[in-house]
Structure 1
Amino acid sequence: MGFGVGLVGVSLAEILLRMSGRIPTGIPFWASVTTSAPFALYLMIGGYWLKRSDVPEVRYPRVLAITMTGMMFLGGFFTIIGVTFRQVGIVQTLSPIRWGLSVGGGSGLLLAFLNAQRIEKELASERELIRSAELEERRELLNYLNALLRHEVLNTANVIEGYATGLMESLDGDEKDNAATIRRQARELTVIIDDVRFLLRAAGENPSMEPTNLSRMLRDELTSLQDRHPEVDIDRDIPDEVYVAADLMLKRLLSNLLENAVEHNPDERPWVSAEVSVTDDTAAVRIEDNGPGVPETVQSDLFKPAQKWDDRHGLGLLIVKRLANRYDGRIELTETGPDGSVFTVELPLATT
């Protein structure tokens, strides 16, 4: 940048001297000025422009080296010409040197910039190839884990449940209770495995969104919830025909959200309210319960895989969070306390 300012200043000073009449001028001089001025201006603004380009700072020394090489090559060449064919007066002698420095430096900076951009594009292509390979390895690992859970762990849990059921029929007292505990835990393990497999599946595929009837799907899930938990009182406020941009996995989001509201509710009369409200571009699903609330110690990490709240409870909310992200939506704990909690999921409306 400093070289460019200096060369522009020299050109202006030379023009003023020649325009004053003290030094003769002519077509060669004006040709020299007009052809070198763009290069000098480029040198002057090049540093400012380079900092705002996509060229990283690690490339700056190389850009400077190429620029200086260009200046020294053409500048040195025309210095030899200026000295060898010395004209009358120092200004006439410096004109070719000024031209060589301007054109050499400007050309060098341009070539350096283009070279740096080419290198960055090549590196970006290499990073993309590496990323694609890593994604493919990750997809293969997810498929392997999914198959392992389905064929090995899930089968083992089913075997344990079957043997526990058989023991319950032949035992009495505490031993029967122990067998019942084994069966209950095996069933719980089956549910958890199913949730983990679902998360692996959701992470390993590309979603294909289409208009999905949120109203109908939520009503169906409330009916299923009532069938599974007939003791639960359910209130609903669901407008007709609300469509969101989603896929069939939306059913899993809603079922986990509703199950989360009743599964660990110790109230004698569990209660759930489902409400849908619509704005210009989103639909908000508000699920309220009368449970004991979410412990304050886990609220900040409620939707993170590492949170330590009840495992089954946490997996359900993790699924809801992942699916909300899948649909470019969001979920939040709107309210919580000893009288219950409110979870709200916002989803983008379908465009057609």
Structure 2
Amino acid sequence: MVSHQPAPRKRGGAWGVTLLGISLVGAALAYAVSVDTETGGLLYPLVDFLVLVSLASTVTYSGYYLGKSDVEPKQLWTVATSVGLGIIVMATLMGWQLLAQLRMGGVVQAPLVLLVVTQSVGAVIGLLVGIYHIETIRKERKLQEARTAAREAREENDQLEFLNHLLRHHMFNGVQVVRSYATILGDHVDESGQSHIETIQYRSDRLVAIVDNMRVLVQSLTDDHHLDPQSLATAIENEIEVLGQTYDQATFEVHGLDDQYVSADSLLPAVFENLLRNAIEHNTATDPHVTVRVETTDETVAVHIIDNGDGPPDGIEEKFLQSAELRDPTAKEGTGLYIANRLVTKYGGDIHLEDDAGTDSARFVVELPLATAPS
């Protein structure tokens, strides 16, 4: 088997910066050797030398650092060019000034140190300009990538919305036709065939529920994460009314529900629709009864949903906490709870299962951040 090794990245620009820095260190050493300490003393030449070495070392180490970074080779050459131009420009300006002073009959003291200092300063200025330039390019590139990613995400969201709308439209129309024919057939079959009619109607309702679950999931993924005060009473009472019409054998009891507002969005009713429906569908009692108890603190609202059955099936808590990667939106059980958990998490709340003291049942507890009622 042939092994393909990644091609080494060209770091010529970084080496160029390093070599320029080393040349400045050499110039500083040349200056140190040329100084006559017997006539002028040692202090000032020593200070000059330390300044020169500091500037040159900065350039040298910067070249080494850039060579280890993820800066592109082309940008490294930009920095090296900027350092070289800084040295040339500053040295030219200083040389011009020294020549002008000599032409006027002046005396230039320590011309070597002036040239070396000027070149070192020019190198540092060029280094800073080059780094600033490549950082500007990198930021612009990241900004452009972020804009592209945002645009692609919006396009994908639009496609998901369209496909979901198309699916719901055709699915609901098709299911409505199936239910209508099932109702007609119900008048032409005896009692032994009624169970088959009920199966058709039940499966039709399941198809509608699956599509509706997909709609809520798509909305939770595509909508902006913008939360507003939402009426808890409106969300719970409306869902109880709808479920009471769907499951006429079920009864509901509500305690502590007042005018509480929670931080959520327009999908809040889906949380309680799924939890209340789950409490009814998995209820083994002859007359299902669901109690909703609301408890309010200074910062949160806790909604307890308790039924008179034997509690949720084994493993249901793991199902609704299951990650999105493992979740099948068409699964018969647990999907509604998964949606509820996802939405509550989005709202900054918590949902969990508790044993109901004194009974064999269990309760779902939804905790949501309390919000100020809109004026």
TM normalised by structure 2 equals 0.67
- Post-superposition offset of 1:133: 2.7
How many Å separate the matches in 1 of 2:320 and 2:24?
60
Q: What is the one-letter code of the residue matched to 2:71?
A: R
Q: Which residue of 2 aligns with 1:89?
A: none
The letter of the residue matching 2:40 is I
Deviation (angstroms), 1:108: 3.3
Question: Does 2:172 correspond to 1:154?
Answer: yes
Unaligned runs of 5+ in 1: 86-91
- AA aligned to 1:296 is G
Distance apart, 1:63 and its partner CA: 6.4
Q: 2:279: which partner in 1? A: 261
The answer for the alignment partner of 2:363 in structure 1 is 342
Question: How big is each residue's C-alpha offset from its partner over 1:258-301, in whole Å with a ceiling of 9 and x where there is no partner?
Answer: 11222122233544332333344332323233444343387066
2:328–2:335 Cα contact (<8 Å) kept: no
After TM superposition, the structure 1 = structure 2 runs for residues 73-92 of structure 1, keeping only pairs within 5 Å, are none
Aligned equivalents of 1:301, 1:254: Cα separation in 2: 14
The correspondence of residues 47-196 of structure 1 with structure 2, limited to 5 A, is 57-59=69-71, 65-71=77-83, 95-96=113-114, 98-100=116-118, 102-172=120-190, 174-196=192-214
Correspondences of 1:299-318 after superposition (within 5 Å): 299=318, 302-305=321-324, 306-307=326-327, 311-318=331-338
State the distance in 1 between where 2:136 and 2:71 align.
11
Partner residue of 2:349?
329
AA in 2 matched with 1:293: P
Q: Which runs of 5+ in 2 are unaligned?
A: 1-16, 100-109
Q: Residues 66 and 109 of structure 1 are in contact (CA less than 8 Å); yes or no, is this contact kept in structure 2?
A: no
Instruction: Work out whether residues 63 and 109 of structure 1, in 8 Å CA contact, stay in contact via their aligned partners in 2.
Output: no
C-alpha RMSD of matched pairs (Å): 4.8
Provide runs of 4+ in structure 1 moved above 6 Å.
1-8, 17-21, 24-27, 29-38, 44-48
Does the 8 Å CA contact 1:303/1:314 hold for their aligned counterparts? Answer: no
The 8 Å contact of residues 230 and 264 in structure 2, kept in 1 or not, is answered as yes
CA–CA separation in structure 2 for the residues paired with 1:57 and 1:31: 33
Q: Which amino acid aligns with 2:201?
A: R
Distance in 1, Cα, partners of 2:232 & 2:72: 54
Contact 1:74 1:101 in 2 (8 A): yes
Contact 1:164–1:183 under 8 Å retained in 2: yes
Q: Could you tell me which of 33, 40, 58 is aligned with 1:23?
A: 40
Q: Which amino acid aligns with 2:314?
A: P
Moved more, 268-277 or 250-259: 268-277
Aligned partner of 2:169: which letter?
H
Q: 1:286 to 1:20 in 2, by over 3 A?
A: farther
The SS at the match of 1:164 is helix
SS at the partner of 1:286?
Answer: strand
2:120 partner amino acid: S
1:301-345 CA-to-partner distances (Å, cap 9, x unmatched) read 635454369834433223323432443334334559993333232
Question: Do the aligned partners of residues 351 and 179 (structure 1) sit closer, same or farther apart at CA in structure 2, a change above 3 Å counting?
Answer: closer
The Cα offsets for residues 32-91 of structure 1, whole Å up to 9 and x where unpaired, read as: 89997995696599699x89xxxx931176666555545555668959x7xxx9xxxxxx
1:287 aligned counterpart, secondary structure: strand
Query: CA distance change for structure 1 residues 6 and 223 in 2, over 3 Å: closer, same or farther?
Result: farther
CA pair 260-274 structure 1, distance change in 2 beyond 3 A: same
Name the amino acid aligned to 1:323. L
1:170 Cα deviation (Å)? 1.3
1:88 equivalent in structure 2: none
Deviation (angstroms), 1:215: 3.9
Q: What displacement does 1:118 show? A: 1.6
- Greater CA deviation, 31-40 or 60-69? 31-40
Distance 1:161 1:215, change over 3 A: closer
- Verify the 8 A CA contact 1:39 1:107 in the aligned structure 2: no
Q: 2:288, 2:42 → 1: CA distance?
A: 98
Please name the residue that 2:315 is paired with.
Answer: 296
TM-score by length of 1: 0.71
- 1: distance between equivalents of 2:273 and 2:161? 24
Q: Which secondary structure does the structure 1 equivalent of 2:40 belong to?
A: coil
SS in 1 for 2:304: strand
| Structure 1: distance between partners of 2:291 and 2:313 | 17
Contact 1:231–1:270 (CA under 8 A) maintained in structure 2:
yes
Match of residue 3 from structure 2 = none
Amino acid corresponding to residue 69 of structure 2 in structure 1: E
SS of the aligned residue for 1:187 comes to helix
